[in-house]
Amino acid sequence: MAELSTLARPYAKAAFEYARSANALADWARQLSTCAAVISDERVSAVLDNPALTGEQQANLVNELCGASTDEPVKNFVTILATNKRLELLPKILSQFELLRANLEKTVDVEVVSAFELQDALTEKLAGVLRRRLEREVKVTTSEDASLLGGVLIRAGDLVIDGSVRGRLNKLAEAMNS
């Protein structure tokens, strides 16, 4: 069977192109997020897994649960997904939609994990360096992980920069073992 992300890609591109042409990228992202959250609920997914339900019934259920938080084009999109037995792809479609949106808007979400709390000035300086290196506007979120021992671990999309003490010790251990 094909990877879920491979199956989700054409749907994400279609949704993205429609939303872009309607100048409604933020609205579509919010509405797709709502739909993905609804179908990810274990109670809803248990009902949707019932083989006796038709695609139309599945679409009606999801659209009813989403209610007024989704508009007609998104409801139609959900109906297409349900008809094609692809509702389970909604979380992957959402993540690919968000990636396409970030590429268009030249933004990237950056996660910075450090052993200790970072001061605001240091976070801003780090954001500036990343902005220049990635040539994108960065949205930095920080968290703490004492197991890093020191330094930082930076994740920006599929780019990972491991400047932690733990990472350096792991590299040293690998070098000594080989």
Q: What is the CATH number of the domain that holds 17?
A: 1.10.520.20
pLDDT recorded at residue 66: 93
Do 91 and 120 lie in a common domain? no
Do 86 and 21 lie in a common domain? yes
Final residue of a domain: which of 102, 136, 168? Answer: 102
Do 48 and 9 lie in a common domain? yes
Q: State the pLDDT confidence band at 96, using cuts at 50, 70 and 90.
A: very high
Q: Which of 50, 8, 51, 56 lies closest to 32 in space, CA to CA?
A: 8
CA 14 – CA 59 distance, rounded (Å): 18
The mean pLDDT of 121-133, rounded to a whole number, is 91
| Partner residues linked to 109 by β-bridges | 139
Do 19 and 71 lie in a common domain? yes
The mean pLDDT of 146-173, rounded to a whole number, is 86
Q: Does residue 1 have a pLDDT over 60?
A: no
Structural domains counted in the chain:
2
Do 171 and 138 lie in a common domain? yes
Q: What percent of the chain has pLDDT over 90?
A: 61
The mean pLDDT of 96-108, rounded to a whole number, is 90
* Conformation bin of residue 85: beta by default, left when phi > 0, alpha when psi is -120 to 50: left
E strands along 96-156, which residues? 107-114, 137-144, 152-156
